[in-house]
């Protein structure tokens, strides 16, 4: 079928609705739905929170007239299995909807075409592939997790024009401007967890929370990588936990056989968990082991906020899936600032990491480059 202009219009509306669930539905995908009858939207909905009704159910229940004979536009194939909610496919079948337009099939093995098959078996016309690329990008972390069985890692850095994220002594306040920092807080809200190394946690002493945003926000899980469990209990993160100010979990990943007494002191704090990981051949935390543990906590969309050694470790391991690079109109100068990646560089340019720039935007005086790695390309 050749899609019509109005089909694109209604699917775009479904995608807009789906985005309203950002920060609240993971590890479920973002889904929006629109019901159209006689060229008029009569119902709409989106998946608003993990465990709550799915988009199709909300759209059908919100309809201001009988949906029998109508068209449903939904960006992801209706689920066909019982989970925290009943199958959406049955709701659609029982509603009398005549045609269903879908952006993407569901990569979840529990669905994987099952929803489409159920609809077709009941003589509902199904047309898939409408704004397929846009739908996949909206749920890129979900597709990545389902296909590769590991989290989707987003690297966020704020750097000077000459490539430094901090002055030689570690001062980084503020490389980027206020508008950039607001967007960084939006990323924390949107993604599942924010991850830093012990050095950044101690030097910057951050809360790693969402601030500077209006309305309801989702606080990310805070993740600290500390192979020897040397981080101070006096860090701001743990001081707040001691006060009983619980905002979100704090996961401290450390190496094996760390001091049991110190470990117990951390785990006495509300929301704080210490997880031991294997070490790799460089005596650093094994990032594959980390990925498996993050999945166990339903954390599939991770924001890497540094520092430079953590950035290098993920780069070297080929685990960076998306880049958010804020470039500020500042030049630190010299050759002893802290670079974005602290580690041994390849000896030839052709061995460098190559990226596809997706878009560039202005945030105040800063430029944000959003990019993806060119994996498998020379």
pLDDT tens digits for range 258-306: 889 999 999 989 899 999 999 998 889 999 999 999 999 999 999 999 8
pLDDT tens digits, one per residue of 236-266: 888 877 777 778 899 999 999 888 999 999 9
What value does the mean pLDDT take over residues 98-109? Answer: 93
pLDDT at 85: 66
pLDDT at 86 over 80: no
Residue 11's contacts (CB-CB under 8 Å, 6 or more residues apart) are: 34, 73, 75, 101, 103, 130, 131
Residue 120 has pLDDT above 50, yes or no: yes
For residues 61-69, give the mean pLDDT. 93
Binding residues: 54, 79, 88, 158, 174, 188, 200, 204, 208, 211, 227, 305, 307-313
Q: What pLDDT band is residue 378 in, cutting at 50, 70 and 90?
A: very low
The per-residue pLDDT for 50 is 85
Residue 203: closest CA among 241, 162, 169: 169
Distance CA 128, CA 119 (A): 12
| pLDDT for the residue 339 | 94
253 contacts 229 by C-beta, under 8 angstroms: no
Closest CA relative to residue 363, chosen from 204, 175, 214: 175
With a CB cutoff of 8 Å and minimum separation 6, the contacts of 213 are 182, 185, 186, 189
* Contact status, residue 192 vs residue 299, Cβ threshold 8 Å: yes
pLDDT at 333: 92
* pLDDT, position 226: 95
77 carries an active-site annotation: no
Strand (E) positions, 282-341? 301-304, 322-328, 338-339
Alpha helices of 122-177 — where are they, by DSSP H?
Answer: 132-138, 140-148
Catalytic residue among 12, 56, 77, 276: 56
Residue 377 predicted with pLDDT over 60: no
d(CA 273, CA 268): 9
Rounded-to-integer distance, Cα 171 and Cα 167, Å: 5
Tokens 């199904």, located at residue? 126
Contact (Cβ atoms closer than 8 angstroms) between residue 192 and residue 199: no
Per the annotation, binding residues for NADP(+) are 158, 174, 200, 204, 227, 307-313
CA distance 232 to 201: 9
Which pLDDT score, from 0 to 100, does residue 368 have? 98
pLDDT tens-place string over residues 150-195: 999 999 999 999 999 999 988 888 899 999 999 999 999 999 999 9
Three-class SS of residue 18? helix
Tokens of 88: 């959406």
- For 200, 237, 343, the CA distances from 274, given in Å and listed in that order, are 18, 14, 27
Maximum pairwise Cα distance, the chain? 70
Q: Would you state the pLDDT for residue 173?
A: 84
Q: What share of the chain is helix, strand, coil (3-state, %, to 5)?
A: 30, 25, 45
In the chain, DSSP finds a helix count (H) and a strand count (E) of 12, 16
- Alpha-carbon distance 365 to 331, whole Å? 14
Q: Which of 138, 129, 178 is nearest to 158 (CA)?
A: 178
Read off the tokens for 181: 């920092």
Q: How far is CA 371 from CA 140, 228, 326, in A?
A: 13, 33, 11
């Amino acid at each position: 079928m050749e899609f019509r202009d109005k089909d694109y219009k209604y699917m775009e509306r479904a995608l807009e609705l789906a985005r309203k669930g950002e920060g609240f539905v993971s590890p479920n995908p973002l889904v929006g739905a629109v019901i159209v009858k006689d060229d008029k939207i009569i119902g709409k909905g989106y998946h608003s929170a993990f465990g709550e009704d799915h988009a199709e159910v909300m759209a059908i229940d919100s309809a201001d007239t009988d949906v029998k004979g109508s068209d449903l536009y939904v960006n992801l194939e209706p689920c066909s299995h019982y989970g925290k909610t009943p199958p959406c496919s049955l709701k659609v079948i029982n509603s009398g909807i005549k045609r269903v337009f879908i952006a993407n099939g569901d990569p979840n093995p529990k669905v994987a075409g099952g929803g489409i098959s159920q609809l077709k078996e009941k003589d509902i016309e199904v047309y898939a592939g409408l704004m397929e690329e846009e739908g996949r990008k909206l749920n890129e972390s979900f597709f990545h997790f389902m296909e590769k069985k590991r989290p989707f890692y987003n690297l966020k850095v704020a750097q000077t024009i000459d490539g430094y994220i901090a002055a030689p002594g570690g001062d980084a306040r503020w490389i980027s401007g206020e508008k950039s920092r607001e967007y960084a807080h939006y990323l924390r809200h949107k993604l599942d967890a924010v991850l830093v190394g012990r050095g950044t946690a101690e030097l910057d002493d951050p809360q790693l929370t969402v601030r500077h945003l209006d309305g309801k926000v989702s606080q990310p899980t805070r993740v600290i990588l500390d192979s020897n469990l040397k981080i101070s209990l006096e860090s701001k993160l743990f001081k707040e936990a001691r006060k009983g100010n619980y905002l979100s979990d704090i996961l401290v990943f450390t190496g094996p056989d760390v001091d049991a007494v110190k470990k117990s002191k951390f785990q006495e704090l509300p929301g704080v968990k210490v997880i031991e990981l294997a070490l790799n051949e460089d005596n650093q935390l094994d990032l594959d082991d980390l990925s498996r543990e993050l999945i166990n906590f339903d954390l599939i969309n991770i924001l890497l906020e540094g520092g430079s050694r953590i950035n290098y470790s993920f780069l070297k391991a080929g685990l960076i899936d998306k880049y958010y690079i804020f470039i500020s109109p500042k030049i630190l100068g010299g050759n002893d600032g802290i670079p974005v990646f602290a580690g041994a560089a390849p000896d030839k340019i052709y061995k460098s990491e190559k990226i596809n720039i997706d878009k560039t935007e202005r945030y105040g005086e800063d430029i944000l480059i959003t990019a993806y790695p060119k994996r498998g390309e020379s």
